[in-house]
Structure 1
Amino acid sequence: MNARETEAAPVVASSSPPIRSSQVGNVPLATVRRETCIAFFGFYGRHNFGDDLFGYLLQSMSIRTPGIRPLIVGASPACELTHPFHLPVARALWARPGAIGAVARSVTYVAAILRARAAIFGGGSLFGANASLPFAKLIVNAGRRLNRPVAALGVSVGPFESAERRHAFARVLDAMPSIAVRDEASVRAVADATGSPPANLKDLAFALPALYAPKRSQQDRRTLIVSIHLRQYMDAALAILARVDSLHLVDEVLFVSLDDESVAVTGDIARLFSPSNVSVSRFQYGDSITEVVDLFAAATCVVTSKLHGAIVSFVYDVPVMLFCYQRKCVEFLLDNALPGPQEPQPPEDVCVRHVTELLSRDGRKQRYSNAGWHLDQFTQFISAIGNAKKHTG
């Protein structure tokens, strides 16, 4: 469960009715007949908050769209993800490394496309440096053979490590008539690869405030959230904590782990930090997406190396310092004119000064008001794909 070490987790209401027992796989029979199913593909089901957040957002957008039913393929068992798609025989092998896990996932992907009317790559770095080319080709080729339209929404494209990889992904992108990316660098990458620039509708999380109102709490307490997943930022994080503690800039430091690889790093920072004036607690993402959103939205400031820790903070007007370990982090800062160091390894004194300035400002600056527009754009995209005619050939 999601919970601080000394507290029980609150119960979070489901965003849609529970799945009934009369179903095909995870999909009720009656719903299959009267609704258009869209299968959403991404890095879901790997216990990473950012990727699970994409699934929650796509589900929430789809169920608001008349006639559309989402299938979140491989979704984690988060309590808000009420429209997952898994094959019972493959579910236990979903996260297994190696050939067995790859086969289980591939069979599930094809089964989802068979079940659905259309397929959408939804959210994340699905076409770039660390993306799986076989995964992308499998979905596109299965869609073509099964006459299902395939699109991409809220994705990153590039940077490509070689011309060969760029050409390979260009063939995949050319097979998708509808692509909407999440940053300007991806616009350029698609234009360079295919000759046609895509729409930039921003990250899916930019619509979050229009879909979920966080349960803010402890407004009288100043909370600094620290969410770091890479050891290269431990020294900078400890320097920031020492300064914040000595200047009494916050009342509480909350160490948050947003994925499995963050647990050890964040835990080590917490153990090495010796507070004099602040209280300390820890939180680990478990089975509630919105509980994490609640924490970030209620924070006074956030220091993180996780992109979606930064984006969630930004859309709820919480000051944030983002360690830019990847280019996508830099693009987020640049596209939204946000201050802060952009080097992969910024000097400690620069980081300390930046966080001190963020915490020394009076009140929150209300700057983000575009969630409704983004929600409209995303839902229109999903509706258009759901109503598209099937491909032939």
Structure 2
Amino acid sequence: MIKPQADASLGAASNPRPVEPSLCDEPHPALIRRDTRIAFFGFYGRHNFGDDLFGYLLQSISVKTLGIQPWIVGASCAQELTHSFHLPVAKSLWARPGAIGAAARSVTYVVAISRAKAAIFGGGSLFGANASLPFARLIVNVSRWFNRPVAALGVSAGPFATPERRDAFAGVLKDIPSIAVRDEASVRAVAGCTGSAPANLKDLAFALPAIYTPKRRPDDSRTLVVSIHLRQYMDTVLAILADVDSRRLVDEVLFASLDEESVAVTGDIARLFSPSNVSVSRFRYGDSITEVVDLLASATCVVTSKLHGAIVSFVYDVPVMLFCYQPKCAEFLRDNALAGPRETQPLNHDCIRHVTELLVRGRHEQGYSSAEWHLDQFRDFIAGMGKKGNSTGAA
């Protein structure tokens, strides 16, 4: 049974871990292998399940790649993130807003690049509408200063709000020789900026089943997992829940908060929902990435506005309804031929009908079978960057 929500809860890891250096500090020199260090950069350390999942995946893929030692720069203190990189002097300031936090992160980035042999932007919307242009420029420029090769893997590019922002990111993308994106829209965006189409290796989470086997719930109860982080979907979700409850399509509704934005919204939906036939429980992402994977993989159906709630469900063959609050969500549905409303604000009855169909149809056992292929592609990409790093003669 999934444990109930607990603030800052500490649970056992969902899979055994080898003895590793401190979770959030630089590894002790005596424990460092003679491998090629690659520093990975993204939106890590924000206690967001999707971004923490990228760190876990990049770490796992790297350690499966001969001769590679990953540094997940700024990673959260999740149990599974055993190869994080932080500067002790800057760690406590990492998540601070404003100039102090920005300075702490920037210094950490510079030191990580100086000590690694290559830099990789890893996972997420790092070159788009809400991305940080100064962050992208800093990684590219510092890598150039230290003569480190730089690449991007599993990222999104675009959409760009203005031509000026597009042109600014175009300058960054042109300075990244190796780019592998995660959707077809990003292929077009990068090609438009650089004149060259990148590889589309898809999202890093597409390799997850080849890396982690989830722990399934022992009972046969039918569980609908709900994870919503935007208030604009509250009324629609409540309509879905009322219909599911009245028709007894599930036994349990589990409200899951996968980031800080989700806590208030999902909590409000849980308080407003008055069930007649189903039980209700709550879960909050704490310090275990794989615990969330276990939860999603055991669901009968998932209703979410979180892209990586949807992707993780998809790769473990769990039916999912994804609210498409931004283009990358609709692109995920379209690229993978998944049904469901793709409007930003879909009609209630369309959502109710779609969730009903998912619950009646149920999961397709072993419908997703591409994880090993994606794992091999990601490993090859990272191994190639390791060779480039060694060829530069970096210390």
TM-score, normalised to structure 1, is 0.96
CA distance in 2, matches of 1:3, 1:133: 40
Partner of 1:12: 14
2:187 matched to 1:183? no
Quote the offset at 1:168 in angstroms. Answer: 1.1
CA distance in 1, matches of 2:179, 2:196: 10
CA contact (8 A) 1:14 1:79 kept: no
Secondary structure of the structure 2 residue equivalent to 1:76 = coil
**What amino acid is the match of 1:19?**
P
Quote the offset at 1:171 in angstroms. Answer: 1.1
Quote the offset at 1:362 in angstroms. Answer: 4.7
Render the CA deviation track for 1:234-276: whole Å, top value 9, x for unaligned.
0000000000000010000000000011000000000000000
CA distance in 1, matches of 2:107, 2:169: 22
CA distance in 2, matches of 1:362, 1:179: 37
CA distance in 1, matches of 2:184, 2:85: 32
CA contact (8 A) 1:12 1:79 kept: no
Quote the offset at 1:166 in angstroms. Answer: 1.1
CA contact (8 A) 2:156 2:182 kept: yes
Quote the offset at 1:298 in angstroms. Answer: 0.4
Partner of 2:198: 198
Partner of 2:96: 96
Partner of 2:128: 128
Partner of 1:247: 247
Partner of 2:323: 323
Trace 1:1-393 onto structure 2 (pairs within 5 A): 3-5=3-5, 9-19=11-21, 26-30=26-30, 32=32, 34-388=34-388, 389-390=391-392
Render the CA deviation track for 1:292-331: whole Å, top value 9, x for unaligned.
0000000000000000000000000000000000100000
Distance 1:8 1:119, change over 3 A: closer
Secondary structure of the structure 1 residue equivalent to 2:82 = coil
**What amino acid is the match of 1:387?**
K
CA contact (8 A) 1:144 1:391 kept: no
CA contact (8 A) 2:317 2:363 kept: no
Secondary structure of the structure 1 residue equivalent to 2:353 = helix
CA distance in 2, matches of 1:165, 1:84: 31
Kindly tell me the number of residue pairs found equivalent between the two proteins: 389
**What amino acid is the match of 2:54?**
F
CA contact (8 A) 1:254 1:280 kept: yes
CA distance in 2, matches of 1:359, 1:257: 22
Alpha-carbon RMSD: 1.9
Quote the offset at 1:228 in angstroms. Answer: 0.2
**What amino acid is the match of 2:156?**
S
Render the CA deviation track for 1:176-218: whole Å, top value 9, x for unaligned.
1100000000000000000000000000000000000000014
**What amino acid is the match of 2:286?**
G
Distance 1:280 1:322, change over 3 A: same
Secondary structure of the structure 1 residue equivalent to 2:93 = coil
**What amino acid is the match of 1:286?**
G
Q: Which moved more, 1:27-36 or 1:236-245?
A: 27-36
CA distance in 2, matches of 1:358, 1:67: 44
CA distance in 2, matches of 1:247, 1:104: 53
Secondary structure of the structure 1 residue equivalent to 2:78 = coil
**What amino acid is the match of 1:237?**
V
CA contact (8 A) 1:57 1:208 kept: yes
Gaps of 5+ in 2: none
CA contact (8 A) 2:318 2:363 kept: no
Q: Which moved more, 1:27-36 or 1:148-157?
A: 27-36
CA distance in 1, matches of 2:178, 2:18: 28
Distance 1:358 1:109, change over 3 A: same
CA distance in 1, matches of 2:170, 2:238: 43
CA distance in 2, matches of 1:32, 1:295: 34
CA contact (8 A) 1:180 1:201 kept: yes
Render the CA deviation track for 1:359-392: whole Å, top value 9, x for unaligned.
0115535321000000000010000001103299
CA distance in 2, matches of 1:232, 1:134: 31
CA distance in 2, matches of 1:337, 1:391: 45
**What amino acid is the match of 1:118?**
A
**What amino acid is the match of 1:370?**
S
CA contact (8 A) 2:11 2:287 kept: no
CA distance in 2, matches of 1:137, 1:363: 43
Secondary structure of the structure 2 residue equivalent to 1:45 = coil
Quote the offset at 1:19 in angstroms. Answer: 0.8
Distance 1:16 1:62, change over 3 A: farther
CA contact (8 A) 1:149 1:391 kept: no
Quote the offset at 1:9 in angstroms. Answer: 3.9
